[in-house]
């Protein structure tokens, strides 16, 4: 088997989306001690599980430089990964907490924080090139857990698959080509958790399902 291609994520000051670059520069002036850059994925490239989120939160991943770290959504995601053996250590909501992912990688559909947490369709499309390259560089990838509709759409487009054939449905696992599976979960955002669109047990069930197909 030929070696998997190397993966280079976006440079921290990625210029590809002008609106996101402007937002980043504004944030840099306002919060000079924060990361304020494209947030690199977390976890090994030889993982069999890939979790795809939406985009860094302003005061969370955009500050700490690690996906979901310091974000409300990370308060459910990381303890769940610890519970199901896909993380080791203690989640301390900072990138230097020593937490390790185990056969698991976490990335985002859009790697720079968007205003109001809403990336435009053009930004989603532009950033997808990094997800394409990242997935191509994961030789053991078997299972993708997507958090929310935007991550679902990004994963399908990355694989050249149509949304009409694979509609988003929380808790659904699709068998894709080869040995790859895609599991849908509602995003573990503050809004979804507070409105109980998503509960802890629903999230655990989806994560367990994504792990069980590996």
CB burial readout 122-142, b (16+ within 10 A) else e? ebbebbbebbeebbebbeebb
| Closest-CA residue to 126 (of 55, 26, 29, 45) | 55
Q: Among residues 17, 38, 51, 73, which is the contact residue for ligand URA, using CB under 6 A?
A: 73
Residue from 10, 37, 43, 57 that binds ligand URA (CB under 6 A)?
57
Of the residues 60, 124, 206, 209, which one makes contact with ligand URA according to CB under 6 A: 60
Strands (E), the chain: 49-53, 87-88, 100-101, 104-108, 143-147, 173-175, 181-185
Cα(96)–Cα(91) distance, integer angstroms: 10
Q: How many CB atoms are closer than 10 A to CB 32?
A: 8
The residues in 153-212 that bind ligand URA, with binding defined as CB under 6 A, are: none
Q: Which stretch binds ligand URA (CB under 6 A): 13-21, 29-37, 47-55, 78-86?
A: 47-55
> Phi/psi zone of residue 51: left (φ > 0), alpha (ψ -120 to 50 degrees), beta?
beta
Q: Does 61 bind ligand URA (CB under 6 A)?
A: yes
Q: Which of 56, 58, 141, 211 binds ligand URA (CB under 6 A)?
A: 56
Work out whether 43 is an interface residue with ligand URA (CB under 6 A). Answer: no
Binding of ligand URA at residue 53 (CB under 6 A)?
yes
Question: Considering only 56-64, 91-99, 120-128, 205-213, which stretch makes contact with ligand URA by CB under 6 A?
Answer: 56-64
Q: Which residues bind ligand URA (CB under 6 A)?
A: 53-57, 60-61, 67-68, 71, 73, 108, 147
């Amino acid at each position: 088997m030929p070696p998997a291609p190397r993966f280079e994520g976006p440079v921290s000051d990625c210029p590809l989306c002008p609106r996101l670059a402007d937002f980043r520069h504004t944030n840099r002036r306002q919060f000079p001690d924060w990361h304020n850059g494209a947030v690199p994925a977390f976890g090994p490239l030889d993982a069999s599980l890939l979790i795809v989120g939406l985009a860094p939160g302003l005061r969370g991943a955009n500050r700490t430089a690690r996906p979901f770290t310091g974000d409300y959504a990370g308060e459910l995601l990381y303890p769940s990964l610890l519970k199901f053996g896909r993380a080791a250590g203690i989640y301390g909501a900072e990138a230097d907490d020593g937490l390790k992912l185990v056969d698991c990688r976490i990335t985002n559909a859009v790697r720079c924080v968007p205003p109001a947490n809403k990336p435009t369709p053009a930004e989603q499309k532009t950033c997808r090139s990094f997800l394409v390259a990242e997935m191509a560089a994961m030789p053991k990838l078997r299972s993708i857990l997507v958090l929310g509709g935007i991550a679902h759409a990004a994963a399908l487009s990355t694989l050249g698959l149509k949304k009409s054939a694979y509609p988003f449905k929380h808790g659904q696992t699709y068998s894709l080509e080869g040995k790859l599976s895609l599991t849908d979960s509602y995003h573990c955002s503050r809004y979804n958790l507070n409105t109980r669109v998503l509960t802890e047990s629903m999230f655990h069930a989806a994560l367990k399902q994504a792990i069980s197909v590996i």
